[in-house]
């Protein structure tokens, strides 16, 4: 069986409150030194769904990133990876929605039963946003026969 591993870089940030001190994305930033998190600068790549109304720039908000590996198999769960789809752009919204459900169910539970396990995430709303998709194909020499 052949499986495909997808690497996701997850960026988690506090969308409600600006960090209490001056911060930026440099390694000498107070947010990195004291909170262990980066801080959004005011450049154009900063998300714009922060503040109480969810429509303000996230400049000044802290964030962290994590790389997560996901095993991908076809809908038939065969592991044959026989999909011919190369352009996933029309499926990004479905992926984002599915990931929102995965995170919500993990940290909150389907009926809220996990909120006691993860009290720090009890009030979080999980919103997945794909900023860039990059195709990287790595071949295992044991499977590739030329």
* pLDDT tens string 105-136: 988 998 989 889 888 878 777 878 776 666 55
pTM of the predicted model over 0.75:
no
Cα 94-95-100 angle, rounded to 5 deg? 100
Would you state the pLDDT for residue 144?
45
Residue 64 has pLDDT above 70, yes or no: yes
CA distance 86 to 89: 9
Residue 5 has pLDDT above 60, yes or no: yes
Give CB contacts under 8 A, 24+ apart, made by 46-49: 47/13, 47/15, 47/129, 49/15, 49/127
Would you state the pLDDT for residue 146?
41
The fraction of the chain above a pLDDT of 70, given in percent, is 72
């Amino acid at each position: 069986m052949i499986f495909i591993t997808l690497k996701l870089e997850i960026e988690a940030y506090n969308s409600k409150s600006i960090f209490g001190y001056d911060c930026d994305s440099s390694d000498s930033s107070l947010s990195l030194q004291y909170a262990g998190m980066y801080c959004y600068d005011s450049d154009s790549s900063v998300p714009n769904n922060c503040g109480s109304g969810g429509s303000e720039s996230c400049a000044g908000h802290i964030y962290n990133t994590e790389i997560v590996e996901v095993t991908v198999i076809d809908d038939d769960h065969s592991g044959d990876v026989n999909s011919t789809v190369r352009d996933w752009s029309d499926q990004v919204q479905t992926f984002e929605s599915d990931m929102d459900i995965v995170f919500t169910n993990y940290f909150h539970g389907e009926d809220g039963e996990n909120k006691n396990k993860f009290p720090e995430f009890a009030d979080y709303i999980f919103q997945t946003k794909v900023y860039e998709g990059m195709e990287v194909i790595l071949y295992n020499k044991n499977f590739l026969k030329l």
